[in-house]
Amino acid sequence: MKITRIEVHQAELAYAGGVYRLSGGREYRAFDATILSLHCDDGSVGWGESTPFGSTYVAAHAGGVRAALDLLAPAVIGLDPRCHDRIQDAMDTVLTGHAAAKTAIDVACWDAHGKSAGLAVCDLLGGRIAEPVPVISSIGSDTPDAMRASVARHREAGFRGHSVKIGAGEAEGGPALDAERISACLADRQPGEWYLADANGGMTPESVLRMLAQLPEGTDIVIEAPCASWRETLSLRSRCRLPILLDELIQDDADLIHAIATDACDGVGLKISKQGGLTASQRQRAIASAAGMVMSVQDTTGSEISFAAILHMAQSTPRRLLRCALDPR
């Protein structure tokens, strides 16, 4: 089985909610998706995707993804898509980094592999687990009442967890507003629900500690990606009474090993395109599992293709450690 042709397509994915807001005043209305089809000599066609969350989330942007694919695609023509580590080696030989671009090829290889074998990708990734995958919503920054209403709508749609975006600037209301947002989102909490307060690296240790001081005692929530640097995160970790899950800071194996060695967090957000595809995500899942870390399986954003990759990874992740999977659509 050999790769014979790769085609790259572009699509705009409009945000259904109008405007999505993150810490630092970041706003998004649409996302630039790169969709890739990978054709093989046995007739199999695998599909992959990479849709960066704008250009200020991690070091990736849509134009860069497609430019990188001009280098990466020729390097894997003629290779067996089922030999995932060899595909990674070939891509790394011609281009350092650029995990988001490599993801599109990697995911397409897994899709082609599954189709050729007549197996679901989750079975190739270790085997499906019969229990359902809990899916988490993403609640953009807004007024506390609007965010509470958004949680209610997502709950009614079947979401078992909710990622609440925080990181208000001082002029906007600062830590006091973030504490109100969290309390509002948790006000109608149902049994079995799981909550993240996600700053996307947009807060300082000082602002997080001020926010925590204004939350009611016993608030059950996990703080995700509070700060932009390791120094800030480790400083906060030593003083934070709530669990911490890291996302943007963990982009490769070395980052994850560093987080474990420094006891920087209790869990990790595995985003398929941030990690570099399903091959890298599977490896990092094993590392995190060995350390007893909980996981949220996600991607930055994307279409049905991205969501399919997330679900196959989540479906094969032990439920003891899987907290949720994100629907990025």
Over residues 225-268, the pLDDT tens digits come to: 999 999 999 999 999 999 999 999 999 999 999 999 999 999 99
Give the torsion through C-alpha atoms of 219, 165, 141, 327, to 10 deg. Answer: -120
CA distances from 280 to 6, 124, 287 (A): 21, 14, 11
> Would you say residue 24 has pLDDT above 90?
no
Q: Are both 47 and 89 inside the same structural domain?
A: yes
Q: Are both 224 and 162 inside the same structural domain?
A: yes
Nearest to 324 by CA among 197, 164, 163: 163
Last residue of a domain, one of 67, 95, 119: 119
Sign of the torsion formed by the C-alpha atoms of 238, 243, 249 and 250:
positive
User: Could you report the per-residue pLDDT of 64-86, keeping only the tens digit for each?
Assistant: 999 999 999 999 999 999 999 99
Q: Are both 152 and 301 inside the same structural domain?
A: yes
> Would you say residue 9 has pLDDT above 90?
yes
Q: Are both 208 and 286 inside the same structural domain?
A: yes
Q: Are both 7 and 146 inside the same structural domain?
A: no
Give catalytic residues, as residue numbers: 165, 271
Residue 142, pLDDT score: 94
DSSP-assigned letters across all residues of 270-308: EEHHHHTSHHHHHHHHHHHHHTT-EEEEE-SS--HHHHH
273: domain CATH number is 3.20.20.120
Distance CA 307, CA 303 (A): 6
Nearest to 270 by CA among 244, 297, 245, 308: 297
Q: Are both 114 and 129 inside the same structural domain?
A: no
Contacts of 192 (CB under 8 A, 6+ apart): 160
Q: Are both 33 and 49 inside the same structural domain?
A: yes
Q: Are both 49 and 183 inside the same structural domain?
A: no
Residue 56, pLDDT score: 63
Q: How far is CA 146 from the centre of its chain?
A: 24
- pLDDT confidence tier of residue 327, bands split at 50, 70 and 90: confident
Q: Are both 134 and 257 inside the same structural domain?
A: yes
Instruction: Record the pTM.
Output: 0.92
Q: Are both 82 and 183 inside the same structural domain?
A: no
Last residue of a domain, one of 91, 119, 147: 119
74: domain CATH number is 3.30.390.10
Q: Are both 151 and 92 inside the same structural domain?
A: no
Tokens of 62: 């849509």
Q: Are both 63 and 148 inside the same structural domain?
A: no
Q: Residue 12, Cβ neighbours under 10 Å: how many?
A: 9
Q: Residue 321, Cβ neighbours under 10 Å: how many?
A: 16
Last residue of a domain, one of 76, 98, 119: 119
User: Residue 106: which domain range?
Assistant: 3-119
Q: Are 202 and 167 in contact (CB under 8 A)?
A: yes
Distance CA 121, CA 111 (A): 7
Distance CA 221, CA 194 (A): 7
Q: Residue 89, Cβ neighbours under 10 Å: how many?
A: 12
Number of domains observed in the structure of the chain: 2
User: Could you report the per-residue pLDDT of 121-177, keeping only the tens digit for each?
Assistant: 999 999 999 999 999 999 999 999 999 999 999 999 999 999 999 999 999 999 999
Q: Residue 74, Cβ neighbours under 10 Å: how many?
A: 12
